[in-house]
Amino acid sequence: MAFFPNADALTRTQEALAAIAAGPSAKDLAGAPVLTEWMVCPHAGVFFSLQGLSTGHPELTQDGAFITTSIVLGIDPQRRWARTLSRWYRLATPADPQGDSQMSYLSQRDSALADGDINAAIDQSRAVMAHELLHAQHALTRA
């Protein structure tokens, strides 16, 4: 269970994967923080996270703060929302890879994925996560 440090992490991952399969409800999105100037960047090997300026995040007191999310498990093809391990996000304006934004010096702009590569990369990450989840569940049943 090295990939999942405890049973709670295993359960949260199962719930996040199930949430993606169902898609977000109107209530999920109404309470979700908004990311502006967002981009998808590498995170821990084969995984990816979002980076951007957050508004309405339940654990942050400052709107407009630069954040790096937990691992992204799904993203809307129209780029309206994303699901990470921990929560839903509403996606506003993406970062302009050619632009000069306040994020350019904070982020991994050079390693951000191009829009056309995002869905395939996140699908692959989700498949790896699902495989790791099955492996951990199997290990628990043998214990």
In a domain, 120, yes or no: yes
| Alpha-carbon span 94 to 52, nearest angstrom | 8
Report the domain count for the chain: 1
In a domain, 31, yes or no: yes
| Alpha-carbon span 1 to 115, nearest angstrom | 34
**What are the 10-residue block averages of pLDDT along the chain, 143 residues in total?**
72 90 95 94 87 90 88 94 95 80 54 87 90 84 72
| Alpha-carbon span 141 to 143, nearest angstrom | 6
In a domain, 2, yes or no: no
pTM of the model: 0.85
Choose among 129, 138, 137: nearest CA to 83: 129
Q: Which domain holds residue 69?
A: 7-142
Dihedrals phi, psi of 4, to nearest 5 degrees: -110, 110
In a domain, 1, yes or no: no
